[in-house]
Structure formats: C-alpha cells, structure tokens
Structure 1
C-alpha cells in the first residue's frame, strides 16, 4: 500500500507539472506572484521554458486520493465507461474542493486559486476541467489494474 501511495503521489505531481507547463504555453499567462487570483501575460521566451509547477501539499493528496479511489474502482469496474468517467470527475472535484477548503482553514490560504477562471467554484475547482478529470479518472483505473498485476 505504501508503494502505491508513493506511485500515485509521483504520478499526480508529474501530471500537474506537465499540465501547468502546457497551460502556460497555450494561454501565454501565468499566476501573478503578488496576487494568485490574477493571470499576467508571459513573453514568448517565458512560455517556451515550459516551467510547470506543483506544491508539496499535493503529494499526500495525490497519494491518498489514489488509494481512496481504488475500492471505488473495484465497485464500479463493470459499469459503462461514460458513467465511470463522470463519477471520477465528480469525485475528483469533491476531493479537490474539500482539500482546498481544509488547507484554507488550516493555513489561511489554498496553494491554488482559480478565481480568475470563468467556471470556478469558490476559487477551488474549475468546472471546465471536467473533461480532464473524466479522462484522468479512467487513466487511473488502468494504472490501478497495472499496479495490481505487478503486485504493488
């Protein structure tokens, strides 16, 4: 179980780093260092650095989230993939929102802030990311099955 926690944590970190680098490349914006609710324009050389980022806080979230969703995967394994994907998106939104609220309560802020986005909920989740979470949840099913086959 500890090995799977570690693998889910590392995969989550890697995915977030790639996602943020690609997002900044495509949009040409990055967080304003003085106000994370704002996005500022990037120069072309800044965009092509592909400097993605994540937060140390995210490792336990990704590790525990991966483990927590394993029993759910077993329960819904035979359901049609569109329903499973929708459930993964909803579940990931719920965890992201709850963890963001917890971090705000404990530290006074959340490391991510989506307030700049049109479809945000309290700055903690972006509803327009639903297709990403849909696909990522289905990917995690495959990862879970691979880890079981490897005896991890």
Structure 2
C-alpha cells in the first residue's frame, strides 16, 4: 500500500507539473506571485521555458486520493464508462474543493486560486476542467488495474 501511495503521489505531482507548464504555454499567462487570483502576461521566452509547478501539499492528497480511488473503482467497475467518468469528475471536484477549504482554514489561503477563471466555485474548483477530470478518472482506472499486484 505504501508503494502505491508513493506512486500515486509522484504521478499526481508529475501530471500537475505537465498541466501547469502546458497551460502557461497555451494561455500565455502565469500566476502573479503577489496575488494568485490574478494572471499576468508572459513573454514568449518565458512561455517556452515550460516551467510547470506543483505544491508539496499536493503529494499526500494525490497519494491518499489514489488509494481512496481504488475501492471506489472496484465498486463501479462494471458500470457504463459515461457514468463512471461522471462519478470521477464529481468526486475529484468534491475532493479538490474540500481540500482547498481545509488548507484555507489551516493556513489562511489555498495554494491554488481559480478566482480569475470564469467558471470557478469559490476559487477552489474550475467547472470548465470537467472534461479533464472525466478523462483523468478513466485513466486512473487503467492505472489502478496495472498497479493491483503492488503492495
């Protein structure tokens, strides 16, 4: 179980780094270091650095989330893929929102802030990310099946 926790944590970190680098490349904006609710323009050389980022706080979330995902996957394994993807989307939104609220309560702020986005909820989740979470949940099913034999 510890090995799978580690693998899910590392995968989450890697996915977030790739996602943020790609997002900044495509959008041409990055977080303002003084106000994470604001996006600032990047120069073309800054965009092509592909400097993705994540937070140390995210490792335990990704590790525990991956482990919590496994029994849920077993429960819904035989259900239609459209329903499973919808469930993963809603579950990821719920965990992201709850963990963001917890971090805000504990430290005064959440490391991510989506307030700049059009379809955000309290700056903690972006509803326009639903297709990403849908696909990611279905990908995680495949990963879980591949990792089933690991301690």
Q: Shorter-chain TM-score: what band?
A: over 0.9
- Where structure 1 has 5 or more consecutive residues not aligned to the other structure, the ranges are none
For residues 72 and 55 of structure 1, the distance between their equivalents in structure 2, rounded to whole angstroms, comes to 26
For residues 57 and 150 of structure 2, the distance between their equivalents in structure 1, rounded to whole angstroms, comes to 28
For residues 6 and 139 of structure 1, the distance between their equivalents in structure 2, rounded to whole angstroms, comes to 18
For residues 34 and 146 of structure 2, the distance between their equivalents in structure 1, rounded to whole angstroms, comes to 42
Aligned residue for 2:2?
Answer: 2
Aligned residue for 1:54?
Answer: 54
For residues 87 and 13 of structure 1, the distance between their equivalents in structure 2, rounded to whole angstroms, comes to 22
Question: How do 1:46-85 residues align onto structure 2 when only pairs under 5 Å count?
Answer: 46-85=46-85
The two structures have a TM-score, normalised by structure 2, of 0.99
- Where structure 2 has 5 or more consecutive residues not aligned to the other structure, the ranges are none
For residues 15 and 69 of structure 1, the distance between their equivalents in structure 2, rounded to whole angstroms, comes to 17
| Residue-by-residue CA offset, 1:14-56 (whole Å, 9 max, x unaligned) | 0000000000000000001111000000000000000000000
The two structures have a TM-score, normalised by structure 1, of 0.98
SS at match of 2:37: coil
Question: How far 1:151 sits from its partner (Å)?
Answer: 3.0
Question: How far 1:69 sits from its partner (Å)?
Answer: 1.0
Aligned residue for 1:14?
Answer: 14
SS at match of 1:36: strand
For residues 120 and 78 of structure 1, the distance between their equivalents in structure 2, rounded to whole angstroms, comes to 32
For residues 89 and 100 of structure 1, the distance between their equivalents in structure 2, rounded to whole angstroms, comes to 16
Runs of 4+ in structure 1 off by over 2 angstroms are none
* Contact 2:92–2:133 (CA under 8 A) maintained in structure 1: yes
* Contact 2:4–2:150 (CA under 8 A) maintained in structure 1: no
SS at match of 1:31: strand
